[in-house]
Structures are given as C-alpha cells and as structure tokens.
Chain A
Amino acid sequence: MTCAERIGELVECARGRGSLGRELSAHLPGCAACAERFQAERELSQQLRTIQARGVALMAEDTRREVLMRDFADLHRRRPARPWVFAFGGATALFAAILVGNVAGRHAARHAPVPALRVKAPRTTQVVTYEASTDASELSSDDFTAVPYTPPLAPGELVRVVHADLYPEALASMGIDINPAWGDEIPTEVVVGEDGIPRAVRIIGPQGGTQSDDF
C-alpha cells in the first residue's frame, strides 16, 4: 500500500469515522508525510467542530417561525379567494376590507339565513363599513344582488368588495340576468366572504346605472 492510498483512511480517522487500522498505526511513526497529514487533518476537524458549535449557537434563535406560521394560516384562510379573484383579472381588482357588524350573536349566526348587507359609509371611499342584517331581502337594497345557493356570512366576518371587470358568463354563473346589449366586460363590485365565495354582486358600469355614461 502506498502513502497516497493510505490518505483516505487517514482522513476518515481524523474525522472521527473509525480508528486507525493496524497497518496504518504501524506506518505512521516511520512516515513523516503521513504523520504530518494526519496531524493536519485532526487539527482541521478540531477547527471545524468549533465552527460547527458556533453555527448552532448563532442560529439557535429562530425569530421567523411565528411570522411564517401566521402567513401559512392566512394563506389557507384566504386561499379559495385568490384563484377566484385572479380569474377575473387581478390587475384591475381593488380590494376594500369591510366589516360585517354583529347583529345576532355568533352562536345564532351559523344557522341564520343569508344576512343582508347595508352600506353605512359612502361608497366613494375604499373602505366601507357594512352592517349585516338577518333580513335577506335587504341584500338587493343597494343594487347588490345576492348570489344564490351560497353559505351565510357569519356576523363579524371580514368580507371584501372586489372591483372587477367580469365577463357576462361569470355574471350569469352568479345568477345575474344578462342583457345581450352589454359589452364583453362588465364593471362590477363583488362582495367576497372570508372563504372566497362571492355572496353578492352589483354592476357599477352604465349597465348598472350607478355611474356616469362615460365610465
């Protein structure tokens, strides 16, 4: 066996992976080159252990975990909403957070009929406060049309109004009667629950009559 062939075993021994074999133990005292290499490898292992311990200590405190866990929870709470919103061209969509006020207790809410939404603040502002009502007929009172067959909003649930240009087919899928004279993209506001499901829609373009004709 040559000295070059012994180096592999030398290195592994210096790394603490096994002990010197009989042949190598007998060789080292008589070979300065191998003895020097073995010593150098052992010193290197010692220094690497210092660096290793330092790395463990330096990175022991993880300040990011809580943030990431919160992000994960938020992502999955909102997640159904994102594909829906982006499906209608997210670039033009503006989000306004609106708060559905408590009308009935949370306990009763899960079993209540679809709550209506009544605008309290002027709709020219981006953030609008809504008040939930258990009277579903009020859903259409501010030009909003309730989307049929959707689960009820819980009082206190944070809902968003999404401004989006929708295709007539999308509106039709939400139960809105479509006028064939309307264009390909219809400006709308859609009320979206925390679960991402649209609850109500209102047309804000000339078709809906709530904006000027040059909209």
Chain B
Amino acid sequence: MSALIPRSDEELYRLMKKGNQDAFAQLYARRVPALRRYALHTSGSPAIAEEVAHEVFLQLMSPNSRYDEAKGSLESFLYGIARNLVRVVRRQGPVEEAVDRAFEHDILGELISNEATAALHQTLRELPERYRDVVVLCDLEERSYEDVARLIGRPVGTVRSRLHRARALLSAKLKRLNAPVEVYSR
C-alpha cells in the first residue's frame, strides 16, 4: 500500500537530488503547469512564462540549489523563484510590448476578442505585486486562502483582504471599460 501513497514535493526533491529522474519528472509534472500560468499572468507573455518556468527548474536541479526544507515548502520556494524572475523581467521594461503582442497574436485571440477582457488582464498585470499575486493564485488558479497564505508566507486574513481589495480595483476598471459601450448601445 505504501507505494500508492503520493510522495510529497519534499520527498521527491530529496530523491531528485540523488539523481532520480522519475522524481524530477513527477515534481515537474506536478508543479510546472501552474508555475507557467502564474508567470504568464504576471508577465503577460507566453514566451517569458516558458523561460521563467524553465529557469525555476534549472535552478532547482542545480547543485547549488538553495532550497532548505526547514524554511518552508518546496512549492513556496518555487513560487519565490518565479516571482523574483518575473520581477527581473518586468524591470527590464519591454514586457508590456510582449504582453500586447501576446494578446494580439495568441492562439485564442480570435475566440477572445473582448477588449474589456484584454484590458482587464492588462490592469491585473499593472496591479501592485501583492494584489496581482493573490488574484492569480486565488481566482485564476483557484487555490484556497490557506494554500495561498502558505505559498506567499502571509496570514489567511491578509490574503483574503488583499484579494477583496484587488477585486475592487479590477471591478472599478471593468466598470470604466464597460461605460462607453453602454452609451453607444443606447
């Protein structure tokens, strides 16, 4: 029966460090999809998201990886790396262009022609990081407040209040975006 119990991230990490490729592949399958989406929503660019997720795992498998189990979960560590990488990319500047191009040319562009949605996504990316992260993790990734609190190392109440504040900011933006449409439709 014990073989059927899923291994924790930390167990997989320990095996991975000994060169176990299956453990590395499992860890990758478990954590990369969400990391890629997190990087997409915070950077706005699929290409940058790919780079970020790739780099997170390169750093993880590096012999110099700084993960310390005593300081928190591996998932939290991975998000920490991703967050820092996105910060670096955003500081470099041209992300906004990449974002716009991504919205114009992404594979779902035809399906989602709603300008309000595109503008909302841009507003989301422009939110301060503490608000942006909770919207991405709580609403886009549908993680519980408890999960997100562990991931970002803040109390549950803080996560909840940040999310509500962020949503108020986004709602206000959405209201402004929708207003001209209503005028024209009358």
Contacts and interface: CB of A to CB of B under 8 A. Distances in A.
Nearest to B37: A55
A76 interface: yes
A41 interface: yes
A102 interface: no
A40 B61 contact: no
B174 A62 contact: no
Interface residues of B, number: 44
A54 interface: yes
Interface stretch (A42-50, A122-130, A135-143, A186-194): A42-50
Given A50-B117, A79-B63, A41 B140 contact: no
Interface in B11-35: 19, 21, 24-25, 28, 32-33
B104 interface: no
Contacts of B40: 55, 58-59
Interface residues of A, number: 36
B169 to A, nearest CB: 10
A51 B171 contact: no
Given A69-B21, A76-B19, 13 more contacts: A7-B164, A15-B139, A48-B140, A51-B120, A52-B139, A52-B142, A54-B108, A59-B46, A62-B32, A62-B50, A63-B50, A64-B53, A75-B61
30 contacts: A7-B164, A37-B171, A43-B174, A44-B170, A44-B171, A47-B116, A47-B120, A48-B139, A48-B140, A50-B114, A50-B117, A51-B41, A51-B117, A51-B120, A53-B108, A54-B106, A54-B112, A55-B40, A58-B40, A58-B108, A59-B40, A62-B32, A64-B53, A65-B28, A68-B28, A69-B21, A69-B24, A71-B58, A72-B21, A73-B21
Interface of A: 7-8, 11, 15, 37, 40-41, 43-45, 47-48, 50-59, 62-65, 67-69, 71-73, 75-76, 79, 82
